[in-house]
Amino acid sequence: MVKVYSISNCPWCDKVKKYLKAKQIDFTEYNIEEDEAARDMCYKISGDLTVPVTTIDGKAFVVSFDKAKLDELLGL
Amino acid sequence: MKKEEQQRDIIIIGGGIAGLTAALYAGRMNLEVLVLESELVGGQIINAHSIENYPGFAAIKGSDLIASVQEQAEKYGAVLDEFDRIIRLDLTAQPKIVETESFIYHAGAVIIASGMTRRKLPLAKEQQYLGKGVHYCELCDGHMYQDKTIAVVGGGNAAIDAADFLTKYAKKLYVIHRGSKLTADESSQEKLKKQPAVEILLNTEIRDLNGAGALETLELYDKEQEERRQVPVDALFVNIGVIPNTQLFKGALALDEDARIVAGEDCRTNISGVFAAGDVRTKPVRQLTTAAADGTVAAILAEKYIQSLKEEE
C-alpha cells in the first residue's frame, strides 16, 4: 500500500501524486496540515515534517520527488 | 533493452514560462513539440505566491499562471513530459539527438529554456541541517514553523516574496542580507516592512549554523560593526540567487563567464537550429515577461529553421 503525506499548495507533493497516477499506482493521501494523526505519523517515519513523504507497504519511505528511489521501491 | 526512437519537430528543454510559451507558439504552428522538464513545471515562479507584474493580472499565484499557460500549450498539441530526464545530447547532428532515460528523440530544432536553479547556501553545515531547519521551498516547508522564529537569507524579489509568505507562520521573521540595501522591488519591500514580526538585517552575513540535531542558531557577522553574534532561529529559508542550468550544454554551446548560453535577442546560439530562451540566455533583463517574449521568438525562428531545412531537401 502506498501512502503520500503532503500539504496543500506543495509543488513537489503534486509532482509525486502526478507520477503515481501516471504509473497507475493507487495511493492514499494524508494532508498533514489537516490531519494531526497523519502529521505525527509523518514525523515518526522521516524524523521531520518535510513533505512529500511517500511510504511503500510501511517498510520504506521516500522524501520529496526522487524518481529513481520511487521506481526502485515500487518495482517500476 | 533498446530504447524506442521518436521524431519531433521541436524539443523544448525546460518547462518554465519561456519553454511553455515556446510550446504554445510551436503548437499553434502545427509543429510536433515535446517539452522535457525533469524538475518542477513552471520553474522558479512555481513558488511565487503572488505575481503582480505580469500584464493582465493584478495578482496571480505562480502555480496558477503556469497551469494556465500549460493548458493553453497542450490545447494546441504540445506534449509535456515531466518525469523523463535527459542523459545525452548531440546538438550538431541533423536531426538533433536528445536521449532521455526512456527514449531517443530526433528533433529538427531544439529550444533550451532550462532556466535557473537556486544557489545553495555556501556553508559547510548546509547539508547537515538540510530539511532540519535549512530549507529552499517555503511553500513545502513553511508550515513546519507555525509560531516559530524564521530567517530568510537574501535580498532579491524571490527572498522578499518568500519572507512575505512566511509571515503567516512566523512569530518573528528575520530577513538577512549581506548588502547595504535590498534589491527587491520597492513595492514588495514596503509591503514586507509593514509586518510587525519582520526585522531586516542588512550588511549581515551568515557565518555558521549550529544546533543539536536540528538548526537552533545562526552565527551572524555584522560587516559594519565587525561583530559576530548568535541569533536563535528555528528555520532558515535560502534565497540567495540562482545559477543557470547549463551543465548539459558545456562544451557544445558557447557559454558566458556566468555559464549562461550566449544568444542574442533572436535567441540563436552558436549551433544552427538550437535556440536559448528565458533566464538561461545572456541578456540584461530577466523577468517573466522577457522569458515569455524569448519563448515566442525562439518558437517562431525555430519554425523558420525547420522550414528552411525542408526547402533544402
Taking only the tens place, the pLDDT of each residue in A41-63 is 998 998 878 899 999 988 789 99
Out of B83, B85, B140, name the one closest to residue A51 (CB): B140
Residue B81 has what pLDDT? 97
- Count Cα atoms within 13 angstroms, Cβ side, for B241: 9
- Look at chain A and report how many structural domains it folds into: 1
Bond prior to A52 in cis (omega within 30° of 0): yes
Q: Which residue of A has its CA nearest to B132?
A: A48
> For the CA atoms of chain B, what is the radius of gyration?
21
Out of A33, A50, A67, name the one closest to residue B141 (CB): A50
Would you say residue B243 has pLDDT above 90? yes
Other Cβ atoms closer than 10 A to B18:
34
Residue A47 has what pLDDT? 83
- Count Cα atoms within 13 angstroms, Cβ side, for B56: 4
Name which residue leads in pLDDT, B9 or B1: B9
Q: Which pLDDT band holds residue B139 (cuts at 50, 70, 90)?
A: confident
Would you say residue B125 has pLDDT above 90? yes
Arithmetic mean of pLDDT, A1-21: 93
Residue whose entry in the numeric block shows the C-alpha cell 533566464: B279
Average pLDDT across chain B, whole number:
95
Q: Which pLDDT band holds residue B1 (cuts at 50, 70, 90)?
A: confident
Domains of chain B from N-terminus onward: 4-117+242-312 (3.50.50.60), 120-238 (3.50.50.60)
The answer to whether A7 contacts B143, with C-beta atoms less than 8 Å apart, is: yes
Phi, psi of B307, rounded to the nearest 5 degrees: -60, -40
Arithmetic mean of pLDDT, A9-17: 92
The alpha carbon of B54 is separated from its chain's Cα centroid by a whole number of angstroms, namely: 16
Residue B245 has what pLDDT? 96
**Could you tell me which residues come within 8 angstroms of residue B51 by beta carbon, excluding any fewer than 6 positions away?**
B45, B57, B59, B60, B61, B62, B65, B288
Out of A12, A13, A22, name the one closest to residue B83 (CB): A22
Arithmetic mean of pLDDT, A61-71: 92
Q: Which residue of B has its CA nearest to A14?
A: B40
- Nearest-neighbour CA in chain A from B311: distance (Å): 39
Which CATH number characterizes residue A39's domain? 3.40.30.10
The answer to whether A11 contacts B40, with C-beta atoms less than 8 Å apart, is: yes
Taking only the tens place, the pLDDT of each residue in B160-218 is 999 999 999 999 999 999 999 999 999 999 999 999 999 999 999 999 999 998 999 99
Bond prior to B95 in cis (omega within 30° of 0): yes
> For the CA atoms of chain A, what is the radius of gyration?
11
Q: What is the percent of chain A where pLDDT is above 90?
A: 74
CB distance B38 to B85 below 8 Å: yes
Q: Which of B11-15, B25-29, B210-214, B291-295 has the lowest mean pLDDT?
A: B210-214
Average pLDDT across chain A, whole number:
92
Q: Which of B41-45, B176-180, B251-255 has the lowest mean pLDDT?
A: B41-45
The answer to whether B143 contacts A18, with C-beta atoms less than 8 Å apart, is: no
Arithmetic mean of pLDDT, B69-74: 98
Rounded distance between C-alpha atoms, residue B248 and residue B262, angstroms: 15
Residue B154 has what pLDDT? 97
Q: Which of A34, A50, A51 to mutate to test the interface with B (most CBs of B within 10 A)?
A: A50
Rounded distance between C-alpha atoms, residue A33 and residue B140, angstroms: 11
Rounded distance between C-alpha atoms, residue B113 and residue A64, angstroms: 24
DSSP class of B261: B
The answer to whether A12 contacts B40, with C-beta atoms less than 8 Å apart, is: yes
The answer to whether A12 contacts B214, with C-beta atoms less than 8 Å apart, is: no
**A13 interfaces chain B, CB cutoff of 8 Å:** yes
Residue A59 has what pLDDT? 78
Residue A60 has what pLDDT? 87
CB distance A53 to A5 below 8 Å: yes
The answer to whether A12 contacts B141, with C-beta atoms less than 8 Å apart, is: no
The answer to whether B82 contacts A15, with C-beta atoms less than 8 Å apart, is: yes
Rounded distance between C-alpha atoms, residue B95 and residue B309, angstroms: 10
Length of chain B: 313
DSSP class of A47: S
The range of the structural domain enclosing residue A64 comes to 2-74
- Nearest-neighbour CA in chain B from A57: distance (Å): 23
- Secondary structure class of B157 (helix, strand, coil): helix
Q: Which of B63, B137, B143 to mutate to test the interface with A (most CBs of A within 10 A)?
A: B143
The answer to whether B63 contacts A33, with C-beta atoms less than 8 Å apart, is: no
Q: Which pLDDT band holds residue A70 (cuts at 50, 70, 90)?
A: very high
DSSP class of B136: S
CB distance A37 to A30 below 8 Å: no
Q: Which residue of A has its CA nearest to B63?
A: A11
Taking only the tens place, the pLDDT of each residue in B82-97 is 999 999 999 999 999 9
Q: Residues of A with CB below 8 A from B166's CB?
A: none
DSSP letters, B46-99, are GG-S-B--STT-SSB-HHHHHHHHHHHHHHTT-EEESS--EEEEESSSSSEEEE
Out of B46, B83, B143, name the one closest to residue A11 (CB): B46
